[in-house]
Structure 1
């Protein structure tokens, strides 16, 4: 079966996504779409020049929405904002522009007849994921945001540094909005099969400082190079591969939760059919309160975007 992935928006994030997919041979066909024709055409040619030195071949299609009809996955990486326009790192500063662009793109996706899975990176991702679902009319389980998959990775990176281990040895989740109201659910975090809160006492770890290190990681990257791309691109590609391979992996992605009435990040089983199953964590009362407040904040922003 031929695998096909679409990437919409070939800026710093979208080009990193496409590069990972093509370099690793994750798909047979890739559709690259961007309103900047010169940029997307140059990227396509650059990827073709790379092909001779890669172990796999990928067919590249440029700026053809009709080619998305039989795509398995579409990754939305569109967005445009300058650091000077958003000095506080507020993801909602991106909403006015991105809402307009995403609505147009979603209408074109719908016209193409696409019936696969949409993965949204575009910020503010929980609201944008909701817009994609509403405009395309796709089932909620087929429209997913990268959500706190990146925030959870940042948390694991910070915990791992404190313990001098690989971040893949840390389990646990950040939940809620991919934004200021997200939080680390410490009750879910384990290392060495030991709850992190117990380990922190034994090894004199400051979880508040670790949480802060994880929270500001994105801002630090933004200040250094004026955009973030590799971390979120890796999260989006991982999510796409989980869908393509029907891996049925539990990931903290932005998915629609009926119990909260909105898209937010909460672990779910992800596979070929999108969200296969939603799981229920045993959170503390404090964590449940934080999650409820995060959900209310997202719902407020969704209502404002309508």
Structure 2
């Protein structure tokens, strides 16, 4: 019997509500359930969304609020439970670790009471910390649970490079890797535009100034905090990234995007979750792609791992 796609969104704050709006606009799933620790918030977001569905652009989507039992037959779960960085705090996602580790452990207890079959996409920060906890402590099948990782940094990286060279950002190839946070780094060895490699970009594409790699790397990381300080939160970019990953799962696309999962020896690393390009399909992460990196990029991956592991140790997650 045909079963329409079902999406569960856990946490209906700024990001969760943006995920809901984007999922509806993209007609991502025929059924969307909103789940929040505050049932009235989930109810309000669902009800508000329902009022938009009489528009002919988004026919036939069933949106409603519910409890964790609604995860039992979900195809994809997107989780943004827990607080985020707010203006006035130090701009470092890792500072959220203690509080959000507890939040995610509670969420995972409730989700796994009903399913370990749904593909689970983590957004909650600090992303690599919460992903590691959720993926290693609750018997979730390998690959079915992963974090959005550096997909947002990669989107920002492509946007900045596209603007620099006056081309459509979607034509830029290249990845930000490592931590979703301050130690994320551009893998310059992966960058190309229209088949033109990094060393030849200046020759083929228009630009006003020389490419300053260090400046661009810092701009990618800092832009998140620029958004937070300007409007109080970030939600639009990450909502798009999460829905893009969900679409890859629901349509079994087998597309390649950088997501966060526990590493099992890639780059000699264990006991940490970090982002690297991965094939995303029906079962979640179908395959990891440990790209051969330049020596300095491997060193940056190691530093990123050390930053995450220090927080994991500090919170008793690893020894």
State the TM-score, normalized to the length of structure 2.
Answer: 0.91
1:31 aligned residue (23, 30, 33)? 33
- More helix by percentage: 1
The count of aligned residue pairs is: 305
Q: 1:210 to 1:200 in 2, by over 3 A?
A: farther
* Match of residue 304 from structure 2: 294
Deviations 1:90-109 (A, max 9, x none): 10121122111111110000
Rounded to whole Å, the distance in 1 between the matches of 2:85 and 2:143 is: 32
Q: Is the 8 A contact 2:97 2:311 kept in 1?
A: no
* Cα displacement (A) at 1:26: 1.1
* Match of residue 242 from structure 1: 248
* Match of residue 139 from structure 1: 141
Mean alpha-carbon deviation: is it higher for 238-247 or for 21-30? 21-30
* Cα displacement (A) at 1:156: 0.7
Q: Is the 8 A contact 1:189 1:196 kept in 2?
A: yes
Unpaired runs of at least 5, structure 2 = none
Rounded to whole Å, the distance in 1 between the matches of 2:309 and 2:95 is: 17
Rounded to whole Å, the distance in 1 between the matches of 2:263 and 2:136 is: 15
* Match of residue 42 from structure 1: 44
* Match of residue 289 from structure 2: 279
Counterpart secondary structure, 2:302? helix
Rounded to whole Å, the distance in 2 between the matches of 1:82 and 1:289 is: 28
* Match of residue 60 from structure 1: 63
* Cα displacement (A) at 1:85: 5.4
1:179 aligned residue (172, 178, 181)? 181
Q: Is the 8 A contact 2:85 2:93 kept in 1?
A: no
* Cα displacement (A) at 1:200: 4.4
Rounded to whole Å, the distance in 1 between the matches of 2:229 and 2:54 is: 36
2:198 aligned residue (193, 196, 199)? 196
* Match of residue 148 from structure 1: 150
Q: Is the 8 A contact 1:200 1:207 kept in 2?
A: no
Mean alpha-carbon deviation: is it higher for 203-212 or for 145-154? 203-212
Q: Is the 8 A contact 1:70 1:114 kept in 2?
A: no
1:83 aligned residue (82, 86, 90)? 86
2:237 aligned residue (214, 231, 242)? 231
Q: Is the 8 A contact 1:120 1:146 kept in 2?
A: yes
Unpaired runs of at least 5, structure 1 = none
Counterpart secondary structure, 1:165? coil
Rounded to whole Å, the distance in 2 between the matches of 1:140 and 1:232 is: 23
* Cα displacement (A) at 1:263: 1.3
